[in-house]
């Protein structure tokens, strides 16, 4: 129970003369009432002065309320001074101050105060113990957790349910899962609440099977438990199992809450499952789930990342109230779809509405500048962060600027920007510049950046693949082979290209040259038909993008079986004419596929939306929304 709601009389162990009516009782009630109405620390000062003048400064009731109001107003310095002048503070006064430290983020101070209480020979109770355990959890202070646990056992408080629950939770946060499970196993009733805490602990550390085993063992599951399981699966990249679990939840007629809906929408976003996302949206009305900031932002994000930016905008306009998070979702949506001017206009509208941009806002608007090639405006907005809003640029903001310069081919300028920025570059930023070097043919700088990644120990499969591809693009097959051999020797595996498409609420995944699909014959037949028609339209495979030293006919075949082409062909044979085809790819779409998909959209009269690693491409009638700039 929070101390802000806990009745004062139930908290304080008072001397007999303060537990009965006295001449000071009306003053005490008056002071407490005045303190409870304070909205700023300046209002407390005259009240406190009067408390001291009337000799009530050691009244435990009044001191308790003083401390509580101070931490509610985020004035822990003043609360600490009050406490230091209090004579013989009891466990309740210690506890309320520990709780205040925790709620205001001063977790180490809360832990130190608890030890001060113990050293003063004041025995803790279950409230003070749960408060200090919260502080230990925030600090991941495992040693202190175990010391408090020992005190719990010595004091005979181990049977207290709230303490056991908090111990499980904190051990889980600290990664001591065996200790958490030991506490759980010792509980006489492993009910749904305790089980849910254990599930979250396992998921926090990527132990999906262990969490699933606990979930399956629960006889009666509530909405919170179902939601925790769905959320944990989503956080661990298990999107399809999360959606299947949601379907099972519906079959059992378990009522979802708004957090359930947000978790499911997140899974839809990451999979690109638009049809399922639309169903979830319509389903919200059945349970009267309000379109608030929380749910609205998730809906905007889902529609944006599933390729329907117009519907995302519709949701945005339907919302009665919008906050910074709502604007952030919409700005980023516009940015990912290449609608740079719309994103910038919305950013300006946000500031005119009096909403203060956040760090996330600037990631969105700078991404829009990058995708639109708007260098001057991008730097103007970048410099305005600290100057106008007091937000110091973080690594992701610097990364947007490097990406912007790299896309424009201003590679040396981008490299100078990296070397002169306040923060050390990360592998994502250097990888983006390495990719730009490969695209713009600057092999020398690309080698230097790749070496920087290796020297810093930040290299991954992408580093080696980009460098190998850069060598291959320049015809340096020997050097490319050496890079790939080194990659293989170090046990680094390249992430396979994968594309997915949603048909009839089911996600179908394809990899390069995939032969696993039940309709593979029809898919490859459609692919061959398209290839014949495209050649009549003048299409010539861009074999130079195949970065292997093989014959041209082999390169043409390697291009023809790219995963996005297989996904598109499946979409063509599985959906009605004129239906929009939406494909999600985990890598950047290559130049040849980009050219081919433009032609496919023209000859099939289909709109094709492809989400690759960087952005969305809307192909329609032979052209792409990116303007061939991606």
What does residue 501 show for φ and ψ, rounded to 5 degrees? -140, 140
What does each C-alpha distance from 549 to 7, 419, 443, 474 come to in angstroms? 78, 35, 18, 12
Q: How far apart are CA 418 and CA 434, in angstroms?
A: 12
Q: What is the pLDDT of residues 248-267, one digit of tens each?
A: 999 999 999 999 999 999 99
**Residue in the structure block whose two tokens are 């806002």:** 361
Range picked from 58-62, 294-298, 552-556 for highest mean pLDDT: 294-298
Q: Look at residue 559 and tell me whether its pLDDT is greater than 80.
A: no
Secondary structure tally for the chain: helices H, strands E: 33, 6
* pLDDT value for 443: 82
Higher pLDDT, 560 or 336: 336
Under 8 Å between Cβ of 244 and 276: no
* pLDDT value for 591: 83
Q: What is the pLDDT of residues 15-66, one digit of tens each?
A: 333 333 344 455 888 898 899 989 998 999 999 999 999 888 888 999 999 9
Q: How far apart are CA 193 and CA 460, in angstroms?
A: 41
* pLDDT value for 542: 54
Q: DSSP labels for 564-625? A: HHHHHHHHHHHS-TTPPEEEEESSPPPHHHHHHHHHHHHHHT--EEEE-SS-EEEEETTEET
Longest dimension (CA), the chain: 102
Q: How far apart are CA 202 and CA 175, in angstroms?
A: 9
Q: Residue 630 — very low, low, confident or very high, per pLDDT cuts 50/70/90?
A: confident
List beta partners, residue 502: 507
CA proximity to 199, closest of 183, 223, 181: 181
Range picked from 345-359, 425-439, 492-506 for highest mean pLDDT: 345-359
What does residue 438 show for φ and ψ, rounded to 5 degrees? -65, -45
Q: What is the pLDDT of residues 372-411, one digit of tens each?
A: 999 999 999 999 999 999 999 999 999 999 999 999 999 9
**Residue in the structure block whose two tokens are 């290796």:** 454
Under 8 Å between Cβ of 436 and 449: no
* pLDDT value for 501: 95
Q: Residue 561 — very low, low, confident or very high, per pLDDT cuts 50/70/90?
A: confident
- For residue 479, is it left (φ>0), alpha (ψ between -120 and 50) or beta? alpha
CA proximity to 514, closest of 465, 582, 565, 572: 565
Under 8 Å between Cβ of 47 and 38: yes
Q: What is the pLDDT of residues 303-334, one digit of tens each?
A: 999 999 999 999 999 998 899 999 999 999 99
Q: Residue 485 — very low, low, confident or very high, per pLDDT cuts 50/70/90?
A: confident
How far is C-alpha 602 from the chain's CA centre? 38
Q: Residue 347 — very low, low, confident or very high, per pLDDT cuts 50/70/90?
A: very high
Q: Is 282 exposed, middle or buried (0-12, 13-18, 19+ CB in 10 A)?
A: exposed
CA proximity to 598, closest of 564, 554, 561, 555: 564
List beta partners, residue 608: 581, 619
- Residue 463: CB partners within 8 Å, gap ≥ 6? 427, 431, 434, 450, 453, 454
CA proximity to 233, closest of 257, 221, 215, 252: 215
Q: What is the pLDDT of residues 123-147, one digit of tens each?
A: 999 999 999 999 999 999 999 999 9
Higher pLDDT, 283 or 541: 283
Q: How far apart are CA 144 and CA 107, in angstroms?
A: 12
Q: Look at residue 363 and tell me whether its pLDDT is greater than 60.
A: yes
CA proximity to 385, closest of 360, 416, 411, 412: 360
What does residue 610 show for φ and ψ, rounded to 5 degrees? -120, 125
Q: How many CB atoms lie within 10 A of CB 206?
A: 12
Q: Residue 367 is inside which H or E element, if any?
A: helix 359-372
Under 8 Å between Cβ of 393 and 426: no
**Residue in the structure block whose two tokens are 């435990």:** 60
């Amino acid at each position: 129970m929070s101390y802000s709601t806990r009745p004062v009389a139930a908290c304080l162990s008072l001397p007999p003369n303060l537990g009965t009516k006295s001449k000071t009782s009306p003053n005490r009630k008056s002071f407490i009432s005045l303190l409870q109405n304070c909205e700023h620390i300046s209002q407390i000062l005259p009240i406190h002065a009067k408390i001291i003048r009337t000799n009530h400064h050691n009244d435990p009731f009044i001191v308790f309320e003083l401390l509580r109001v101070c931490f509610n107003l985020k004035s822990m310095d003043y609360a600490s001074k009050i406490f230091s002048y209090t004579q013989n503070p009891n466990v309740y006064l210690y506890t309320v101050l520990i709780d205040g430290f925790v709620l205001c983020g001063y977790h180490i101070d809360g832990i130190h105060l608890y030890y001060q209480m113990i050293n003063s020979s004041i025995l803790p109770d279950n409230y003070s113990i749960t408060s200090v355990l919260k502080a230990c959890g925030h600090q991941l202070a495992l040693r202190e957790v175990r010391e408090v646990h020992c005190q719990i056992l010595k004091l005979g408080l181990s049977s207290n349910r709230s303490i056991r629950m908090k111990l499980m939770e904190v051990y889980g946060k600290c990664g001591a899962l065996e200790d958490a499970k030991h506490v759980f196993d010792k509980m006489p009733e492993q009910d749904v609440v305790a089980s849910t805490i254990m599930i979250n602990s396992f998921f926090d550390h990527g132990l999906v099977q262990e969490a699933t085993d606990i979930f399956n063992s629960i006889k009666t599951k509530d909405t919170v438990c179902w939601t925790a399981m769905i959320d944990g699966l989503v956080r661990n990249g298990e999107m399809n199992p999360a959606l299947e679990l949601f379907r099972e939840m519906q079959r059992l007629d378990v009522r979802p809450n708004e957090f359930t809906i947000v978790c499911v929408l997140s899974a839809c976003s990451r999979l690109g499952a638009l049809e399922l996302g639309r169903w979830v949206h319509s389903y919200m009305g059945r349970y009267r789930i309000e379109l608030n900031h929380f749910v609205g932002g998730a809906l905007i994000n889902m529609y944006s990342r599933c390729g329907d930016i117009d519907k995302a905008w519709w949701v945005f306009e339907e919302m009665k109230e919008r906050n910074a998070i709502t604007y952030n979702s919409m700005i980023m949506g516009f940015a990912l779809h290449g609608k740079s001017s719309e994103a910038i206009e919305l950013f300006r509208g946000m500031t005119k509405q009096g909403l203060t941009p956040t760090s996330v806002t600037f990631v969105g608007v700078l991404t829009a500048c990058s995708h639109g090639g708007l260098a001057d405006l991008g730097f103007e907005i970048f410099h305005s962060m600290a100057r106008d809003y007091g937000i110091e640029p973080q690594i992701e903001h610097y990364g947007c600027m490097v990406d912007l310069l790299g896309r424009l081919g201003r590679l040396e300028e981008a490299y100078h920007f990296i070397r002169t920025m306040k923060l050390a570059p990360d592998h994502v930023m250097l990888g983006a510049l390495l990719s730009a070097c490969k695209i713009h043919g600057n092999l020398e700088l690309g080698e230097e950046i790749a070496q920087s990644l290796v020297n810093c120990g930040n290299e991954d499969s992408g580093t080696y693949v980009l460098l190998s591809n850069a060598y291959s693009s320049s015809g340096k097959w020997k050097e490319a082979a050496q890079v790939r051999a080194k990659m293989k020797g170090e046990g680094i595996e390249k992430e396979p290209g994968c594309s997915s498409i949603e048909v009839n609420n089911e996600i179908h995944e394809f990899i390069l040259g995939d032969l696993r699909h039940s309709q593979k014959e029809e898919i490859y037949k459609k692919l061959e038909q398209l290839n014949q028609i495209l050649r009549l339209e003048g299409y010539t495979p861009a074999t130079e993008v195949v970065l292997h030293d093989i014959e041209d006919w082999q390169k043409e075949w390697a291009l023809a079986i790219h995963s996005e082409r297989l996904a598109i062909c499946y979409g063509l044979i599985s959906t009605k004419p004129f239906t929009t085809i939406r494909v999600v790819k985990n890598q950047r779409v290559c130049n040849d596929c980009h050219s081919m998909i433009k032609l496919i959209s023209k000859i099939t009269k289909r709109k094709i939306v492809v989400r690759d690693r960087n952005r969305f491409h809307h192909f329609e009638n032979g052209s792409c929304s990116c303007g061939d700039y991606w």
